[in-house]
């Protein structure tokens, strides 16, 4: 069955340690979003599928006027706990990504991470995000890359009915960019994140208690160029596409 239900996500949030082993949290979305504005303070930002709020909490701490939306009651409970722990206040909405409960032209930026691939009609989701964005505003979409071992692993578990999030598809960089262009956006950037080997090594370093070295300016410049290489883009674990509302 092609669906990702509230029950699927209730199981995910009930077993977060297992879920986080599949999706290691990184700074990529915060980094990309920060690059879109000279100053985040006062910018109205919506996260569709906020989950437990890893990124949106950081954006709120930088002064953005954030709103978190998720259709899962479990996610809302986790977000409320997180906000209380961080001593933050933030509007939260439980709702459907295909029918966002906001007026047109409300936000300066809308983003999602690991959300779009769970919809059989992703155009409906993107059109709603386009509607609630102001003219010339920004969309950021991150999801798993198509051409990776992760896709094979996921498909095997889905076939065995053991994939916690339920139904899920995948996109290549070209497919994701085309999808955004078909739904009202002009592409500004496409970035790849992580190779599977690097993901495993980083997890191993964490288990061993080794500290990550600070990234030099030179290494950062090289990394950013490699992450946008049109050939290498097809082999990163996840991809992020940035678009502008036309």
Give the dihedral of Cα atoms 177, 183, 189, 191; nearest 10 deg.
-50
pLDDT at 195 over 70: yes
Predicted confidence at residue 210, as pLDDT, reads 76
Flag the least confident range among 3-7, 32-36, 51-55, 67-71.
3-7
Residue in this structure with the two tokens 């996610």, named with its chain if needed: 75
Q: How far is CA 16 from CA 23, 78, 100, 138, 165, in A?
A: 10, 11, 26, 30, 12
CB-CB neighbours of 182 under 10 Å: 12
Tell me the domains of the chain and their CATH numbers: 6-245 (3.40.50.150)
Q: What pLDDT digit, counting tens, does each position of 122-148 carry?
A: 999 999 999 999 999 999 999 999 988
Predicted confidence at residue 25, as pLDDT, reads 44
pLDDT at 227 over 70: yes
| Cα separation, 145 vs 151, whole angstroms | 8
Mean pLDDT within 33-40: 94
Residue in this structure with the two tokens 């700074």, named with its chain if needed: 27
Q: Is 127 exposed, middle or buried (0-12, 13-18, 19+ CB in 10 A)?
A: middle
CB-CB neighbours of 115 under 10 Å: 22
DSSP 8-state secondary structure symbol assigned to residue 234:
G
Contact criterion met (CB below 8 Å) for 106 and 85: no
Q: What pLDDT digit, counting tens, does each position of 82-112 carry?
A: 999 999 999 999 999 999 999 999 999 999 9
């Amino acid at each position: 069955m092609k669906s990702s239900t509230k029950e699927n996500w209730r199981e995910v949030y009930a077993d977060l340690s297992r879920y986080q082993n599949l999706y290691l949290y990184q700074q990529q979305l915060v980094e990309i979003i920060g690059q879109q504005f000279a100053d985040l303070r006062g910018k109205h930002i919506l996260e569709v599928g906020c989950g437990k709020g890893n990124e949106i909490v950081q954006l709120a701490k930088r002064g953005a006027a954030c709103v978190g939306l998720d259709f899962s009651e479990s996610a809302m409970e986790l977000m409320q706990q997180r906000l209380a722990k961080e001593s933050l206040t933030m509007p939260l909405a439980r709702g459907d990504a295909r029918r966002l409960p906001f007026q047109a032209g409300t936000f300066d930026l809308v983003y999602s991470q690991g959300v779009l691939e769970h919809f059989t009609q992703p155009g409906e989701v993107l059109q709603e995000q386009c509607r609630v964005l102001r003219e010339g505003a920004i969309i950021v979409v991150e999801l798993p890359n198509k051409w990776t071992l992760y896709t094979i692993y996921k498909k095997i578990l889905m076939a065995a009915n053991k994939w916690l999030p339920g139904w899920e598809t995948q996109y290549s960089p070209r497919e994701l960019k085309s999808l955004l262009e078909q739904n009202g956006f002009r592409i500004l950037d496409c970035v790849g994140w992580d190779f599977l080997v690097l993901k495993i090594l980083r997890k191993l370093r964490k288990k061993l208690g080794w500290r990550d070295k600070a990234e030099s300016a030179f290494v950062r410049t090289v990394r950013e160029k490699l992450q946008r290489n049109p050939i290498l883009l097809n082999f990163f674990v996840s991809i992020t596409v940035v678009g502008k509302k036309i």
